[in-house]
Amino acid sequence: MRGTHWRRVPWICLSCLCSCFFWPVVLGVSLFPFGAHVRDVEFVRRTVDFTSPLFQPQIGFPFGSSLRDFLYFTDNGQIIFPETANQIFSYPNPPFRGFTGWDRLAVVAPFWDDADFSSRRGTIFYQEYETLHDGYRPPVVQQVESWIKSFTNTLNYKARWTLKVTWVNAPAYPAQWTFGTNTYQAILSTDGSQSFALFLYQSDGMQWDVSQHPGNRVLMGFSSGDGLYENSPLTFQPAWQKYRPDRFLNPNSGLRGLQVYKLHREERPNYRLRCLQWLQREPQWPSWGWNHISCPCSWQQGLQDLRFQPNHIGWWGLGSRQLCSFSSWRGGVCCSYGPWGELLQGWRVQSPWHLEQELEPQAWCCHWNDKTSLCTLYQQRRPHISCAGYRPPRPAWMFGDPHITTLDGANYTFNGLGDFLLVKARDGNSSFLLHGRTAQTDSAQATNFIAFAAQYNSSSLAPITVQWLLEPNNTIHMRLNNQTVTFGEDQKIFNTTGVIMTRSGSLVSASLDGTVVVSVVALSNILHASCSLPENYRNHTEGLLGAWNDSPEDDFKMPNGTSIPQGSTEEMLFHYGMTWKLDGTSLLGKRDDHLPSNFTPVFLSQLLKNNSEDKNLTGCNGNKQCIYDTLATGNTNTGLDTWKLFRVYQQTNATLNQYPPSIGGPQVVKAFMGQPKLFDYGSSSKDVTFTLRNNPSDDFKLFENGTLLWTPNSMQPFTLEILARNVKNNLSSVARPKTVVCACKKEKQCLYNETSRVGNASLEVADCKCDKNTFGQYCEHSKDYCEEQCFPNVKCIPGKGCEACPLNFTGDGRHCSLLEDSRLCKNNSCPVDYCYNSGRCYISQSLGCQPACMCPPAFTDARCFLAGNKFTPTIILELPLRTIQLYLSEEENATEAEVNASVAYRLDKLDMRAFLWNSRVQKIGPPAALASGKSLQRWEVFSEFQYSPRGPVIDFLNTQLLDAVVEAFLLKAPVGKWKRSEEPRNNVVFCPVSRRDVLSVIAWNVSALQPYLRCNSYKGYELVYSPQDGFTCVSPCSQGYCEHGGQCRHLPDGPRCSCVSFSIYTTWGEHCELLSMKLGAFFGILFGALGALLLLGAVVFAVQRFWCSEARSSYLVDSES
């Protein structure tokens, strides 16, 4: 069927065609196409046990409540999910009891039994399908998706990773003696949040001989290793049924030989998948080169750089201070700052309107999963922004009766009247114009600005024109592209494409495409302005604000290219300024007022001549701008406002050019568990002290000179932050080195370059490279022969291995087979209906090829007819749950998920593993402040446990559970037990609890549990409970049903007694409780008794006669005397 002809017809269509022609025959399921012709990989080893290469799905595999990183298949019909990559075993013998919630091995078992490929028969094929992104989906994946949707009622399922494994003609152990092979297939599929398994058994392809498998221990189903499990419906069926799963009819699909399982406990978001999908559709960020922008180095510096605007969107744990800047041609950058104003980190962003959505990928790739490689890939797309290349904008000011500070810092006063070019700037991407309009200051021979207009052009935006127009009462009328801009009563920001305007009182600022910022304030009915230009306009400016080239010497350059020197007279500066007057080309349009043609201002030298003793000048403290404005206007307040603005601008400029201290030192610190290690940090700045912010752990000590001592003693997640603070200007920087701890058994096993993150913190744990004799996450376990289960009824001795095989078996104790050559009995067959009560007949080699029966546990005879043995009852209704209530306290500010995981971890480690889950976890009130500075949070937790009919579980849950829980919370928190950072940590340290903190909510006594159980066997079996054994189905035969030594036989209609006769009595009755004496015995006793009486009478007579004669003789003698 796998030939060329059949390859043209889809296999599922063939099944449908068959169902049309042969209805109502129930079809066996067809396996998915397998083999080299469909690009499957063949993998087989000619040994008794072998395992496949390790599969490592990029998105992990949800199994139970965990996200598993590794899986492999074995020759024995299992797919195993180990905790670590070095924990590889083949496990040939399944547990005899089936899967339970206490299994620690995570395994999916399509047909778990001891196979043997060593004889060169059989093989295995596999193929992995990764469909992370929408696009082409192989037919196998499409059909798997279709079946999962149909058979599990799962809507919109889209497989992202699928594994197909096909065991072809797999022989049973030992291959050289056994006959018949099995062909079957397992499909694992996940969409990242849900996971499923499909088992497909080839019709008439499951041919192992049950008689060759003593114990009939094949197991199908799964166990997640953390409490979720499901046994195949065939598990507790007779052996001849469960060894033929190809004949099992799936009631959901109507197909034989198909079993479908849901493997996840609950749907959870898969952040690895989201990250990988984002990485695939997100191109590499373009090179920044010359137009690269960095973050301001401190919050204080950033507040003065008006290209950056405060943002309060509350990102994930990034602090409450953020500044963002956007440009159409450069993109955007957002920066986050700590409580001391120190820069924490910055990110490039593309859109100013969707910051939270843009930062989600960072959380997916870097915070919400433990794969550091994904964070590295994210940072290639979105490199972190530092302040290493930050250059503050160059400010220029126009204030008072106009006093101007140029871009290079030259100061002069210019009282021209008209519209003037303040600055014209251009670079390769954009151009900028700023015009100003002056009017005469009341009746004074001076002028002041009454309007400004800015125009910004770039290749990626339409021209932007912003106007500031002075109105009465120190108000400013704003226009954008000739449209009035209105701020609401509480509105402080106006946002539109390419422009962000902010209003604070009478101050209105405009950031043009995140490149140029113009701020205008109205004071004393005068407009005062500052203009900040970016670094890329250097050497490309002209106008009243000077030629920006860091040299004030040529700032007074006129349009014709000539310059006047610094220190020129006020008259020369006035004539210089008038050269930049605009005639009919102003951005402010035509003036409404008429300007005098011969206006000449008054100069400071003239004012000082006439007012050298003016007392109003004392408040100016010698400031020339303040003196000029006071004298020119005759208004002291105007002069003082000018001086105030001058100081504000100076302070702004000083803050913009003041940097926090630098920090030098290793960016990655590595240490081995328990061993102290020193690291040196320093700063090129003076007057710097070093501290640890929120001392993350007692394992760290930082000296004031910057020496860091780390002695790792635990793996509690933390973020190391080294704070350097300048004690003079109070500016701070922070270093956040990556911390890598190695907890391997030996230091030489540490792989410091291969790490996994612990929670959402800077701590990473190094992977371990175990040697051949160790395994485990930290190579903490020595390989023991008892890790893998021995053959049934064979004990394992730690350090040595399995004992010898049972009598009449041969092998190494793990693999055992019957001694006789199975070929001796190959021509023998079982008689029809030889075994009763679902017993399975087989030809026994040990009985000389005679038929024998494998019986259900209740039966005692060779042919499964007589019952009497004890057995575990059948659960007919799902057993109820045992519920307790816990009151807990912790000081670690843990999340609900972390408390849930930590409580579950402790309860799962109780001596009796019956814990199921926490049904509710909630805080009790707000946290309480402690004297230590920490806060104490109380929690209420409802925990549920699963009753089980077997063993001492019921007695433990009803009588010992509460004390065991108290003891569990007296133990130390687990160290390093969490597996993945997308899962909450499970090592929250709780305050010790007492008996009053653990309350019983729901408990079920023995009589209440009885209705959930049934003894499915012969009539008369009773449900018996004992604290040690739990519930057991017991035959009356084992409880003294027959008296007086009667032999009890449990028949289909109930127990029957075979009474035993004694030498004198005969027992009879239903329970042999009645006694009858035999007739011969009666007469024997009667005559015997009569003979005894006669004899006794004779003796008495003789004695009496003798006594009388003696007495008479004595009397005669006395008489004679």
- Structure confidence at residue 13 (pLDDT): 39
Residue 906 near residue 959, CB atoms below 8 Å: no
Average pLDDT over all residues of the chain: 85
Residue 798 lies inside a defined structural domain of this protein:
no
Please name the helix (run of DSSP H) or strand (run of DSSP E) that holds residue 1112, with its range, or none: helix 1079-1120
432 token code pair: 């900028």
* Residues 304-358 pLDDT 10s: 998 888 876 544 444 568 888 888 766 788 889 988 999 998 888 776 566 677 7
Please name the helix (run of DSSP H) or strand (run of DSSP E) that holds residue 425, with its range, or none: strand 419-426
- Structure confidence at residue 776 (pLDDT): 85
Q: Are residues 228 and 321 in the same domain?
A: no
Q: Are residues 30 and 64 in the same domain?
A: yes
Q: Are residues 258 and 293 in the same domain?
A: no
Of 353, 328, 333, the C-alpha closest to 292 is 333
Residue 439 lies inside a defined structural domain of this protein:
yes
Confidence band of 899 (pLDDT split at 50, 70, 90): very high
Among 757, 781, 805, which residue terminates a domain? 781
Helix, strand and coil content of the chain, in percent to the nearest 5, comes to 20, 35, 45
Q: Furthest-apart CA pair in the chain: how many Å?
A: 203
**Statement: residue 1033 has pLDDT above 60:** yes
Q: Are residues 43 and 79 in the same domain?
A: yes
- Structure confidence at residue 1047 (pLDDT): 82
* Residues 737-782 pLDDT 10s: 999 999 998 999 999 988 888 877 788 999 999 888 888 888 888 8
- Structure confidence at residue 1114 (pLDDT): 57
Residue range 33-51: mean pLDDT, rounded: 95
Q: Which of 384-388, 743-747, 1017-1021 holds the top average pLDDT? A: 743-747
Q: Is the peptide bond before 873 cis (omega within 30 degrees of 0)?
A: no
- Structure confidence at residue 1065 (pLDDT): 74
- Structure confidence at residue 182 (pLDDT): 95
**Statement: residue 33 has pLDDT above 70:** yes
Residue bearing the bigger pLDDT, 622 or 466: 466
**Statement: residue 447 has pLDDT above 70:** yes
Domain ranges, residue 123: 26-268
* Residues 624-647 pLDDT 10s: 889 898 888 888 888 898 899 899
473 token code pair: 């009462």
Q: Are residues 964 and 911 in the same domain?
A: yes
Q: Are residues 305 and 229 in the same domain?
A: no
Q: Are residues 249 and 279 in the same domain?
A: no
Q: Which amino acid is at 1112?
A: R
Residue 189 near residue 144, CB atoms below 8 Å: yes
Among 247, 268, 289, which residue terminates a domain? 268
Q: Are residues 451 and 344 in the same domain?
A: no
Residue bearing the bigger pLDDT, 1057 or 55: 55
* Residues 54-102 pLDDT 10s: 999 999 999 999 999 999 999 999 999 998 888 899 999 998 888 988 8
* Residues 691-731 pLDDT 10s: 998 777 788 999 888 999 999 998 888 889 999 999 988 99
**Statement: residue 18 has pLDDT above 50:** no
Of 405, 390, 369, 224, the C-alpha closest to 323 is 390
Q: Are residues 240 and 277 in the same domain?
A: no
> Residue 1072 and residue 1066: Cα distance in Å, rounded?
9
**Statement: residue 128 has pLDDT above 90:** yes
Q: Are residues 228 and 177 in the same domain?
A: yes
- Structure confidence at residue 53 (pLDDT): 95
Q: Which of 168-182, 262-276, 920-934, 1074-1088 holds the top average pLDDT? A: 262-276
- Structure confidence at residue 567 (pLDDT): 87
- Structure confidence at residue 291 (pLDDT): 46
Residue 146 lies inside a defined structural domain of this protein:
yes
**Statement: residue 460 has pLDDT above 60:** yes
> Residue 526 and residue 722: Cα distance in Å, rounded?
48
DSSP states of 325-361: EEETTTEEEEEEE-TTSBEEEEEEES-SS-HHHHHHH
CATH number of residue 743's parent domain: 2.60.40.10
Q: Are residues 203 and 96 in the same domain?
A: yes
Residue range 648-670: mean pLDDT, rounded: 92
Task: Say whether 1079 sits in a helix, a strand or coil.
Answer: helix
Q: Are residues 532 and 448 in the same domain?
A: yes
**Statement: residue 1083 has pLDDT above 50:** yes
Calculate what percentage of the chain has a pLDDT beyond 70: 89
> Residue 62 and residue 264: Cα distance in Å, rounded?
6
CATH number of residue 480's parent domain: 3.40.1000.10
Confidence band of 6 (pLDDT split at 50, 70, 90): very low
Q: Which residues of 420-434 are buried (b: 16+ CB within 10 A; e: fewer)?
A: bbbbbbebebbebbb
Query: What is the tally of helices (H) and strands (E) in the chain?
Result: 17, 62
Of 234, 237, 161, 158, the C-alpha closest to 199 is 234
Residue 828 near residue 835, CB atoms below 8 Å: no
* Residues 569-618 pLDDT 10s: 999 999 999 999 998 788 998 888 888 878 889 998 888 887 766 666 77
Residue range 425-445: mean pLDDT, rounded: 91
- Structure confidence at residue 315 (pLDDT): 45
Q: How far apart are the first and last CA of the chain?
A: 139
Bridge-partner residues for 162, per DSSP?
Answer: 129, 189
**Statement: residue 1069 has pLDDT above 60:** yes
Q: Which amino acid is at 501?
A: M
Total residue count of the chain as it appears in this document: 1121
Residue range 836-862: mean pLDDT, rounded: 74
- Structure confidence at residue 529 (pLDDT): 95
DSSP for residue 363? I
Residue bearing the bigger pLDDT, 932 or 935: 935
951 token code pair: 């063993």
Residue 491 lies inside a defined structural domain of this protein:
yes
Residue 925 lies inside a defined structural domain of this protein:
yes
Residue 1056 lies inside a defined structural domain of this protein:
no
**Statement: residue 1113 has pLDDT above 60:** no
Residue bearing the bigger pLDDT, 957 or 841: 957
- Structure confidence at residue 752 (pLDDT): 92
Structural domain total, the chain: 5
- Structure confidence at residue 824 (pLDDT): 60
**Statement: residue 1088 has pLDDT above 80:** no
Residue 923 near residue 937, CB atoms below 8 Å: yes
Residue 622 lies inside a defined structural domain of this protein:
no
From start to end of 894-1046, where are the E strands? 915-929, 935-946, 998-1002, 1013-1014, 1022-1026, 1030-1034
Indicate the range of 444-448, 616-620, 629-633, 680-684 predicted with least confidence.
616-620
Q: List CB contacts of 577: < 8 A, sequence separation 6 or more.
A: 414, 416, 420, 544
Among 734, 749, 781, which residue terminates a domain? 781
Residue 173 lies inside a defined structural domain of this protein:
yes
Residue 163 near residue 34, CB atoms below 8 Å: no
Residue range 1062-1069: mean pLDDT, rounded: 74
